[in-house]
Each structure stands twice: as structure tokens, then as C-alpha cells.
């Protein structure tokens, strides 16, 4: 399955220049995401969608792809997430299903990506979206921007979707996959998110010792 990383956003809420290049423990957010995709056993090509607002990210990617030939850059107009995502899928010439992920999810692992893709192969819908229960966010001290009410519970979209590229212009029947891995909650939109993410990341590294 091909993948698309959406990396065209600025880091205004973070107080940074370009969000994809925001450093987490000395490493750009987008580097963590690309590493996870490169290690996934189910991901083939990796396309990164940028915009005119992230020229430094473009430069960083040009250097990164010298060592990773399956990584390509797609330049979008930068007019909105849905418009840019559709344009990127079409410009990349992706066929079949496409794994779409935000560039601000640095703690998502290759194993988690593979679990999501394997679940997608089991469900009979053209699309799958990954969500978490709201209480996972609140336990971490995070306040998500978007919350949905489903089956007497509150869930939060995590910035990962699988879509049928052949139907990219259409609204697709969607399976809501609800997971409880804290790593999915740790997307970085504001300084507080970055602090929580750094604390969690350092804790994980300590646990491995």
C-alpha cells in the first residue's frame, strides 16, 4: 500500500516556523513519521505532500530522499487539507488504497501502522479512520480540537485514514477503528502538546533501559 504524509502546515500555534521541522528531542517531527513508514512491512511508496508555506521542509525532504528512493515529494497548492490531499493522491498516481497520515504524529510506530492496515483488510469498507476515546486524551492532559459522539462514547480522530484512491473525489463509506494507544493521541499542535510528547517519549526511552 502506498502512503501519503500531509506536511504542508505551518507551526503558528506552536510558535515555530514550520511544523514538520519542529524538533522533538532533537529530531524533526516528520523524521519520526517517515522512519515509522519506512519500517512498515505493508507500506511501499511514501509520498509527502508539502505546500508553498513549508519551503524549508521541502529542502529537508530533498536531502532525506537522497538516501530513501521510495520517498517522493508532492507539491500542493496549500489551499486546504481536503483539496490538497485529493490533489496529492491524484498527482502521485496512486491506485488502490492509500494510507494517509499527518506529519505531527511522531510516536506512531511501524507496528501500529501495520496493525491498522491489517484491520483495514478485514473490514468491508472503502475507507477506514482511526479514532481514540476522549478519556485517553484527558488522562494525558490534552484537549483535542475535534470530538465526535458515537455509540454512547466520545471519540477523537487521530489523523490517520485509509482511503480508496479510485474514489478519492467521492465521500467513502468509513469504518471507525477505535484504539487506545496513547501514542496516537500525541499529535503536536501547541507548545503544551510538545511538552507532553517530550515527557512521554523520554519515559518510553527510560523504560527500555
The architecture CATH gives domain 2-208: Alpha-Beta Complex (3.90)
User: What pLDDT does residue 199 have?
Assistant: 79
Other C-beta atoms within 10 Å of 169: how many? 8
**How many angstroms separate the CA atoms of 43 and 131, rounded?**
21
- pLDDT tens digit string along 165-184? 999 999 999 999 998 887 88
The per-residue pLDDT of the chain, averaged, comes to: 88
Average pLDDT score over residue span 119-144 = 87
pTM of the model: 0.89
Q: What is the pLDDT of residue 117?
A: 97
Q: What is the pLDDT of residues 73-95, one digit of tens each?
A: 999 999 889 999 999 999 999 99
Q: What is the pLDDT of residue 141?
A: 72
Tens-place pLDDT, residues 8-66 = 876 665 556 788 998 888 899 999 999 999 999 999 999 999 999 999 999 999 999 99
Contacting residues for 183 by C-beta, under 8 A, at least 6 apart = 105, 107, 108, 109, 112, 200
Helix axes 29-39, 55-64, angle to 10 degrees: 40
Task: Please report the DSSP string for 104-142 in residue order.
Answer: T-TT--HHHHHHHHHHHHHS-SSEEEEEEEHHHHHHTT-
Amino acid at each position: 500500500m502506498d502512503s501519503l504524509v500531509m506536511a504542508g502546515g505551518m507551526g503558528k500555534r506552536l510558535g515555530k516556523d514550520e511544523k514538520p521541522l519542529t524538533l522533538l528531542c532533537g529530531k524533526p517531527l516528520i523524521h519520526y513519521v517517515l522512519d515509522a513508514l519506512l519500517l512498515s512491512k505493508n507500506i511501499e511508496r511514501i509520498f509527502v505532500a508539502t505546500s508553498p508555506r513549508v519551503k524549508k521542509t521541502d529542502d529537508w525532504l530533498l536531502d532525506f530522499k537522497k538516501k530513501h528512493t521510495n520517498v517522493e515529494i508532492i507539491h500542493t497548492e496549500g489551499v486546504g487539507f481536503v483539496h490538497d490531499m485529493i490533489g496529492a493522491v491524484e498527482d502521485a498516481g496512486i491506485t488502490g488504497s492509500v494510507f494517509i497520515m499527518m506529519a505531527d504524529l511522531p510516536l506512531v510506530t511501524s507496528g501500529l501502522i501495520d496493525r491498522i492496515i491489517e484491520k483495514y483488510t478485514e473490514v468491508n469498507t472503502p475507507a477506514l479512520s482511526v479514532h481514540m476515546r476522549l478519556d485517553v486524551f484527558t488522562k494525558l492532559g490534552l484537549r483535542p480540537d475535534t470530538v465526535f459522539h458515537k455509540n454512547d462514547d466520545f471519540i477523537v480522530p487521530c489523523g490517520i485514514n485509509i482511503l480508496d484512491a479510485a474514489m478519492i473525489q467521492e465521500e467513502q463509506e468509513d469504518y471507525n477503528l477505535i484504539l487506545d494507544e496513547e501514542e496516537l493521541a500525541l499529535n503536536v499542535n501547541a507548545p503544551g502538546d510538545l511538552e507532553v510528547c517530550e515527557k512521554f517519549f523520554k519515559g518510553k526511552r527510560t523504560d527500555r533501559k
